[in-house]
Amino acid sequence: MITERDLEAAQTVFQRLTSSIEEVIVGHGEMIRAALIALLCQGNLVLEGVPGLGKTLLVRALAAALGLPFSRIQFTPDLMPADIVGTDLITEESGRRTFAFSRGPIFANVVLADEINRATPKTQSALLEAMEERTVTVGSNTYELEEPYIVLATQNPIEMEGTYPLPEAQIDRFLLKANVPFPSLEELVAITERNTEGTGIRLPDPAATAEDILSARAVVREIPIAVALREYVARLVLATHPDSEHAPARVREYVEYGASPRAALAIIMGSKANAFLSGEVNVRREDIRQLFHAALAHRLVLNFKGEAEGVPVSELLDDVWDQVPTNS
């Protein structure tokens, strides 16, 4: 049973957490919120943007603010799964040689998978189990990951040569995908100021503990959402399917596969977290709207025609949003 005190404490913690991160990251408010939402929803986040926008810095700042173990994996084409999850090593102790499991970087609370699309699908798939089940299986042994656990991946939309786009099964496991925009003039000035003067960037001090995060997660799950809004979310997700009766014309024309049920979960959970971060105690339509693109953009698979014509997925989602009625 969530008490008034739990609610207030959780909201306070995350307000403090947000402030700590924003002290380091200039702008990118939506990206910070997306990261916190993913953290609250027990999800993972993929950040997409050109190099130099502060994606890695954001993850590092988040990890620092949380005061949780953080590991960074630079994905390269020759990266192997064992390099991520760890491997059994032969150790010699008291004259006896035994295999001992050496944990990989995936065994952290905050994992940064930098430029995840540069690794081969085989290596990328090493993250699947960890991202979804929060476990790692090596050989015949399965290891549980500590909560709170979050994988934050980055992608570079340019320099696509030599990259391996994430398979659908992989990309679907990311709760949200946040596009990191280029900073505005004011933000850019502030960035230069913070990085070129004084001691430079200084990561924040821990503003929350693992327990705080887990408590906040419990609070978020209790935030109510109206049945009509649940139905609305379901209609939105169904409308992304080209064979759905609710699908807009452009979706029928350009989309090969629509969003999975996991997308509906992502929208609803994300909306709850968004309402929580906004200080609300119930999910509003506005929360759904704010999460709509982030939860669905990476889950739509365009058909050949859509790819050939370069149809922006965001425009298709706009069509869906505009044409699906709130109330049935």
Question: Which residues make up the interface to other proteins (CB under 8 A)?
Answer: 1-4, 6-7, 222-229, 231, 280-286, 326-328
DSSP 116-171: GGGS-HHHHGGGHHHHHHSEEEETTEEEEPPSS-EEEEEE-SS--TT--PPPHHHH
Return the number of the residue (180 or 223) whose C-beta is nearest other proteins: 223
Return the number of the residue (79 or 283) whose C-beta is nearest other proteins: 283
Pairing of the two strands 150-155 and 110-114: parallel
Q: How far is the CB of 238 from other proteins (least distance, A)?
A: 17
Q: How far is the CB of 156 from other proteins (least distance, A)?
A: 38
For residue 153, which phi and psi values (nearest 5 degrees)? -105, 150
Q: How far is the CB of 189 from other proteins (least distance, A)?
A: 36
Beta bridge partners of 257: 301
Return the number of the residue (56 or 215) whose C-beta is nearest other proteins: 215
Return the number of the residue (265 or 281) whose C-beta is nearest other proteins: 281
First to last CA, the chain: 32
Q: How far is the CB of 325 from other proteins (least distance, A)?
A: 10
Return the number of the residue (200 or 325) whose C-beta is nearest other proteins: 325
Whether residue 276 contacts residue 270, with contact meaning beta carbons closer than 8 Å, is answered with no
| Helix boundaries (H) for the chain | 4-24, 29-40, 55-66, 81-85, 121-124, 128-133, 168-171, 185-196, 210-222, 227-238, 249-254, 261-277, 285-296, 304-309, 313-323
Classified as helix, coil or strand, 115 is coil
Return the number of the residue (188 or 226) whose C-beta is nearest other proteins: 226
Report the C-alpha gap between 297 and 310 in whole angstroms.
14
Return the number of other C-beta atoms located less than 10 Å from residue 263's C-beta. Answer: 22
Pairing of the two strands 301-302 and 255-257: antiparallel
Neighbouring residues of 98: CB distance < 8 A, sequence distance ≥ 6: 90, 91, 92
Q: How far is the CB of 188 from other proteins (least distance, A)?
A: 35
CB burial class (10 A; 0-12, 13-18, 19+) of residue 178? buried
Q: Which amino acid is at 187?
A: E
Q: How far is the CB of 2 from other proteins (least distance, A)?
A: 6
Return the number of the residue (93 or 322) whose C-beta is nearest other proteins: 322
Q: What number of CA atoms fall less than 13 Å from residue 252's CA on the CB side?
A: 7
Q: How far is the CB of 191 from other proteins (least distance, A)?
A: 35
Q: How far is the CB of 322 from other proteins (least distance, A)?
A: 16
Return the number of the residue (171 or 233) whose C-beta is nearest other proteins: 233
